Structure formats: structure tokens, C-alpha cells
A and B are shown apart, each in its own frame.
Chain A
Amino acid sequence: METILGLDLPTWWFLVIGGLITGYGVLDGFDLGAGALHLFFNKEESRRLALNAIGPVWDGNEVWLVIAGGALFAGFPLVYGIILSTFYIPFMLFLVSLIFRAISIEFRSKEPMRWWRKMWDISYMVSSVVITLLLGLILGNLIQGIPINAHQEFTGDLLTFFNPYAILIAVTTLSLFMLHGAIYLVMKTENRLYTKLTVLVNNCSKFFILCFILTSMATLIYIPHMTHEFKRNPALFLLPLLAVLTVLNIKRNIDGRKYFIAFIFSSFITAILLILFAIGLYPRIIISTTDPAFSISIYKAASSEKSLKIMLLIACIGTPLVIAYSTFVFWTFRGKVKLNEMSY
């Protein structure tokens, strides 16, 4: 099999898709988290400020989801079909929530009536929470594996997804995004809203640390296959250690009101958690709980080498471009948010 820098093409694609999902988690993570906190702000002005803090960038952040979806479709079409059709109902609810979230942000400002704004405020918060929980639920189920038979068909039902571990991961994801979003908002605001957020961000950080501890313990105890690779290669234990240090660092920087550094670390922890998941998974991409032999590896699921190579080239050209204009947009809207006539 052809290799580039010592890695075969399916492994490269595993990395590319992992990178895109991480990018999505880090970027849409903070605006979903900001959405999940929305109703904690009581004043109309605070809500507008919070919305405008994510206003120019949330759409661009969501692009990463579209690209990650496209990349999974292109790189591992078998897995794309299996995951999406298996999680049919969760994904349908996810899509509908994405629609509601987009139109809540878009429509809220269009009319001044109080009931109108309140309705979209609620819809914005609920959809942000539901999207995050569903992502976590799907992730949790993929971590522990799903019942797949020899014909790569899902044999469970909707209730299979609602197990304690997956629910725990869903809540942890929510706590992570809420923390990430709170740090982003506190960075972007001033005066009264800032003061309120300094309290909120503290509570979010406690909530996340609690979830982080529970999840770590549950994974170590109940999901042994996630730790195999680490036992085989003890150097990898540096990563969980790094995760713990990162979490402590977030707390320390929040306490010291160094929110920008805290934001870097909350982005970092999102990435580390996904990397830990990827290491536990590799080289499988879907784990079968029916029989380990039915698990689907990246080699079985990958597209042709030619297609992977072309797509890798496309990714190499495209990714710097995407990063360049995201950076440009973030730079343009740097600093604290102010309301003006063009705001939401």
C-alpha cells in the first residue's frame, strides 16, 4: 500500500477527518456553548451582545461540519452510510435543530416585539443544547461501540443509544461547550455583562471538571477497549496527563481572569479529548459490540487510493485557504462587541 511520510492513505484520511471534526468542535463548540447559556442573560441588551459576539463567525464555524461530513463521505463512504443510517432519528433531530438554530439567530432581530424575541431566544438556546447533546450521544455510542452484524448492519433500535455511558458523554460535551462558550463570551464583552459572565464561567468550569472526572473514571472502568492501545504503548499515557494539566490550567487562568489563555486551553482540551478517542479507535472506525471481528476498519471502509490521494491534494490546497479567511474574519471582528445599527 502506498505511504506518504510513512503513513498509508487511509490513516492520512483518518487524521484529516479527525482534524476536521476537531476543528468543528473547537469552533462551533464555542458558539453552541454561547447558545446554551443564552437564557442566563436577562436583559435584552445582554442577549443582543451575546448574539453579536458570535454573529459574524458562527456561520463560518458551521462550515467545518459540512466539510467534515463531505470528507467522511469521500474518504470512508461505507462508514458514512452506516453511521448516518444507524443514527437515523438522532441525525434527523440534529438537522432540524440546526435549522431552528440558524433561523433563530437570523430571525430574532428582524422584529421588535417582545414575544417574537423571546420565542427565538428560547428556540436558540434549546436548539443549541439539543445539537450538543445529540453530538455527545452519538460520540458516546461510537466510543463504546454499536451492535453491528457480519453484514455491517445495525441490529439495535433507538433505545440502544440511550445508555448511561452515552448520556454521560452527552452531558460532558454540553459542559465542555458551555465552558468554552462562556470563556469566549467573557473575552468579547465588557461592563455589566462581563461581570455576570465572570461568575457564570466559574460555574461552568466547576460543572465541566465534575463531568471530566466522571467520564474519565467511567471510561477506564467500563470501556476497556479504549485503553488497550495505551497499555500497549505507555508513552501515550502522557496524553491523559496532559488533559488533566490542561483542565487545571483552564481553571487557573479563569481564576486569574486571563480569559484569552483560558480559551486557548479550552480549545486544546476539546482537541485532546477527541485525540484520545481517535487513538482508542484506530485502526477501527466503527466498533461492533456484537463481535469484535465485525468491527469496521479504516482499510475496509476507505475509498480507492486514487480518490484518497486526489482528496488529500484538495485538502492541502483548501485547508490553508479556509484557515486564511477564517483568520481574516476573526481579525476583522477582534476586540469587544459593540452594538450598532447593523447588529442583530
Chain B
Amino acid sequence: MPSVEILSRIQFAFTIAFHYIYPPLSIGLGLCLVIMEGLYLKTGLAVYKDITRFWIKVFALIFGIGVATGIVMEFEFGTNWATYSHYVGDIFGSALAAEGIFAFALESGFLGILLFGWNRVSKGVHYFSTIMVALGSIFSALWIVIANSWQQTPAGFRIEGEGMQARAVVTDFWVMVSNPSSADRFSHVIIGSFLAGAFLVMSVGAWYILKRQFVTHAQAMFKVGLRVAAVAALLQLFTGHRSAEYVSEYQPAKLAAMEGHYDSSAVADMYLIGWVDQKKERTVGLKIPGGLSFLTHGDFKAPVKGLHATPVNDRPKAVNFVFQTYHLMVTIGMTLIGLTLLAAILLWKKKLFNQRWLMTVFVFAVLLPQIANQAGWYAAEVGRQPWVVYGLLRTSDALSKTVTAQQVIFSLVLFTLVYALLFVLFLFLLHRKIQHGPDVTTNEEEESDEYSKRNIAQIN
């Protein structure tokens, strides 16, 4: 039978990977909703109201699954990683509690108004609620990323006790919160989330345009998504670079694994694509010679710390996996920049919506930010191994002592079945919602609506 450690790791990776599909979508959609409803309040055009209401319904579906799978994550720290919980409770626990009280409560509280409040509250209060929900989802990400970043670059603490009774104790809360990687990782994650949401909006818009349904609405939503995506894709280049810099400084073994760089005294290359032969400790592929040296030291000839600089037991084992996931993320990032810039130029030339091939690409492009987010997360987490708290606590020491392999197999099978069902239902309902499309405000309704005095056609 597989060990409790490997089973618990599989369970954690599986449950978090599944969970991580949804929060980035909520965060990105939240921002798009704020823009759409803002445009409605500003212009009074019914088309913006229709698309806002349409996307709020999609948002609720995604948010619901995100919450349900997120609660699992919170409790898994205690069920499967009790020693870890004890070790980091002072720090990680505070961040989780802060997330609940400051962010999650805000989101969940106002979501009810978003969904059911159209006829209950004024337009201004409704818009305020939309902003609160969007802010809540961003604050959530902030606290979770802070907690995770502390595991990557621990700061503001000291160790008390020894052996299995050891624990990290806060010495300075703000140093802990603003640990060296918090800001960089948060901006990287949040922009990745904006991309996920924006590409979903564009994908659905492009689908309607291809099918020649709800064309006015589709163009309006596509433009909102494109605005967000174009800014986010470019910003991601910058945050990605900053993230690589912090990794090179604080987790050199992870950076070395990302580029398959073994020899510390050698100049480090940057690979566009490649393969790490872990047995021979060699990397082959298409590369920019000295690229990594330039990235980290600003000099193409400077040597960079390789995996050999870290003792074998303290460095990640799955080097090729980290290399591949990292490169997948970067490649997709570049593709997204290309796609959004192309679309923005065509939009500016008023040729965008005639390009059926590009619309087809955008229908499927919804998967790209998702894959990049997952790949980036895997690179970051697997690259941190064998540590659960970098340099302090090994993953193998973090387990619950009393949990047996049978128990974990039971829960793992249970989650696999439930999540598979959940995913099928999610796709089914999303598909149905998209097929149904936005409820289009008719002319009579529109006249009675004091805001909508102008013609829909005006938006073109």
C-alpha cells in the first residue's frame, strides 16, 4: 500500500488543483462585472445591464463551487497535516482566519444582494455590492497568497521547542505578512486570475459572434474582456520577471530546477523548450545561452547557483516536472500577450469581429490561462519540495500521526468521485447557461427604465 505521505500529497494536490480552477475565475469575473455594471450606470444602455445580469449568474455558479471546494482545503490542513498545523498555526492559522473574517465574509454577504437584490435595492447599492464582492475575492487571494508565501520565504518568526513539538512563533506580524515573496507572488497570482476571468468572458462572446447570436451583447462583453486581458497580459510579463528574481534570491534550488541548471560554477542558459535528463543531470533543448545569468545577474557570463549547490536531500526531486510546468506557464504567458495585442489592434482597425478564425481561437483560448495558472502553481509548489515550509519543515514530517493509509484512500476515492461529478455538472450547467444566453431587455421594458433612454445601437 502507498504511504500515508504520498497519499496525503496526492489528495492535497488533487483537491487544490480542482479548487484552483474556480477562485481565479471568480476574481477575474468580479473585475469584469465591476466594469460591465459601471458601464451600465454610466451609459444607461440596457445591453450592459443584460450582460451584467448574465455574468452574475455565471459568477454565482463558479463562486458556489469555489466556496464548497475551498472549505475542504481549510480543513485538510488539520485532517491530513496535523503536525504542520501545529508547526505553523501561529502564522498560517492567523492568515486563514483573517481571510475568513475580512474577505470571505464580505464576498458571501454581498453575493446575496448581487443575485437577489435587483428589485430590492437601488442601482447604486447594487453596484456597491458588486464592488464589495469583487474586492472580497481579491482580499481572499491576498491572504491565501500571504500564507502560502510564508511557506516559500518564511519571515518574522522564531522557532520554539524541538523535534516534533517545534513550532514557528510570530515575532513581527508585518514582517510575516510582507515576507520577501508576498507582494510579487500576490501580483502574479491576481493578474493570472484577471486573465482567467477575462478569457472566459471573451470565449463566450466569441462563441456568440461565431454563431451570430446576441451579437450586440457578445461584442460588448468581448470588449470588456479584451480591455482587462490586454492590460493584464502585459503586466504579467513584469510580475513574472519579479517573481523569477525573488525565486533566484530566496529559493535558488527551485530556480535551478525551473531551468534544469545543475553546475553552480557554470553560466546558466534560458531554455525556450527543453528536456531535463535527471539521471545524467543534463538539460537539452532550444536555449538562449547565458539567459538565466543575465536574468539573475544582469550579465550573460556570470555563473548561477545550480542544483549541485544544494544537498541532494534538500533539493526538489522532480526537476524535469518543475522545468516543464514552468516553461509551459511562460510559453502560455507569451501566447496570451500575442493574442490580446493582435485582437486589440484589429479592434482598433474595426476588423476584429469579422475574423472568424480569430474568434474560433478565442473560444478555445479560455483554457490557456487555466493551464498556465495550474502549471505555475505546480512549478512553485513542487519546486519547494522536499520542504513544506522552505528550509524549516519537511513535507514528510508534516503529516498527521494518527491517520492511516486506509483512511486517506477512503477520502481520496470519495473526493475523486465527488469532484468528477461536480466537474461534469459544472460544465453541463455552464454550457446550458451559455446556450440560453443573456436575457435581452425588450424595447418596452427599456422605455420604462429611466436609465435606458438611448438606443442599443449606440454602443457600436
**Interface residues in chain A, defined as those with a beta carbon under 8 Å from any beta carbon in chain B:** 52, 55-57, 59-60, 62-63, 65-67, 69-71, 73-78, 80-86, 88-89, 91-92, 95-96, 98-100, 102-103, 106-107, 110-111, 153-154, 303-304, 306-307, 310-311, 314-315, 318-319, 321-322, 325-326, 328-329, 332-333, 340, 342-343
Contact = CB atoms under 8 A, between A and B. Distances in A.
A62 B75 CA distance: 14
Given A85-B401, A329-B113, 4 more contacts: A70-B96, A77-B89, A83-B78, A110-B429
Contacts of B110: 325, 329
Interface residues of B, number: 74
Given A63-B108, A78-B89, A102-B64, A84 B173 contact: no
Contacts of A322: 101, 105, 109
B348 interface: no
Interface in B58-84: 60-61, 64-65, 67-69, 71-72, 74-75, 77-84
Contacts of A98: 68, 71
B342 to A, nearest CB: 36
B78 A84 contact: yes
A66 B74 contact: yes
Contacts of B61: 106
A258 B108 CA distance: 30
Given A70-B97, A332-B117, A342-B116, A77 B72 contact: no
13 contacts: A55-B116, A56-B115, A57-B112, A60-B108, A62-B108, A70-B101, A77-B88, A80-B85, A81-B85, A89-B407, A106-B60, A153-B402, A310-B94
A67 B100 contact: yes
A59 B108 contact: yes
Given A66-B104, A332-B117, A314 B82 contact: no
Interface of B: 60-61, 64-65, 67-69, 71-72, 74-75, 77-94, 96-102, 104-106, 108-113, 115-121, 132, 160, 167, 169-171, 173, 400-403, 407, 410-411, 414-415, 418, 422, 425, 429, 432-433
A103 B68 contact: yes
Nearest to A158: B407
Contact of B109 (A82, A318, A325): A325
A83 to B, nearest CB: 7
B89 A92 contact: no
Contact of A333 (B106, B120, B429): B120
B113 A332 contact: yes
A81 B169 contact: no
Contacts of B97: 67, 70-71, 73-74, 311, 314
A106 B426 CA distance: 11
Contacts of A75: 93
Contacts of A328: 109
Given A319-B101, A329-B113, A85 B402 contact: yes
A322 B100 CA distance: 10
A80 B89 contact: yes
Given A74-B94, A99-B418, A315 B85 contact: no
Q: Which of A57, A95, A306 has the most CB of B within 10 A?
A: A95
Contact of A314 (B68, B94, B106): B94
Given A88-B411, A92-B410, A304-B170, A99 B72 contact: yes
A251 to B, nearest CB: 32
Contacts of B91: 307
A95 B171 CA distance: 34
B429 A59 contact: no
A327 to B, nearest CB: 10
B75 A88 contact: no
Nearest to B436: A110
B115 to A, nearest CB: 7
Contacts of B170: 304, 306-307, 310
Contacts of A321: 101-102, 105-106
Contact of B86 (A77, A154, A307, A318): A77
A80 B100 contact: no
B395 to A, nearest CB: 16
A325 B104 CA distance: 12
Contacts of A326: 105, 109
Contacts of B71: 62, 65-66, 69, 95, 98
B68 A99 contact: yes
A267 B407 CA distance: 36
Contacts of A71: 97, 100
Contact of B93 (A96, A303, A319, A340): A303
Nearest to A319: B101
A10 to B, nearest CB: 13
A303 B97 CA distance: 13
B79 A84 contact: yes
Contact of A63 (B77, B78, B80, B105): B105
Contacts of A69: 71, 74-75, 96, 100
B411 A325 contact: no
Contacts of A92: 79, 410-411, 414
B388 to A, nearest CB: 14
Contacts of A91: 75, 78-79
Nearest to A324: B109
Contacts of A88: 79, 400, 403, 407, 411
A332 B120 contact: yes
B166 to A, nearest CB: 12
B439 to A, nearest CB: 8
Contacts of B85: 73, 77, 80-81, 84
Contacts of A70: 74, 93, 96-101
A107 B116 contact: no
Contacts of A307: 90-91, 94, 169-170
Contacts of B64: 59, 102-103, 106
Given A70-B97, A103-B65, A304 B105 contact: no
A74 B105 contact: no
A55 B89 contact: no
B172 to A, nearest CB: 9
Contacts of A340: 119
A56 B113 contact: yes
Given A66-B74, A106-B64, A307-B170, A318 B92 contact: no
Q: Which of B86, B101, B167 has the most CB of A within 10 A?
A: B101
Given A73-B89, A96-B418, A307-B90, A86 B402 contact: yes
B93 A74 contact: yes
A55 B90 CA distance: 35
Given A85-B79, A321-B105, A342 B115 contact: yes
Contacts of B429: 107, 110
A73 B407 contact: no
A79 to B, nearest CB: 9
Given A74-B90, A77-B90, A310-B170, A96 B69 contact: no
A100 B65 CA distance: 10
Contacts of A304: 90, 160, 169-170
A329 B112 contact: yes
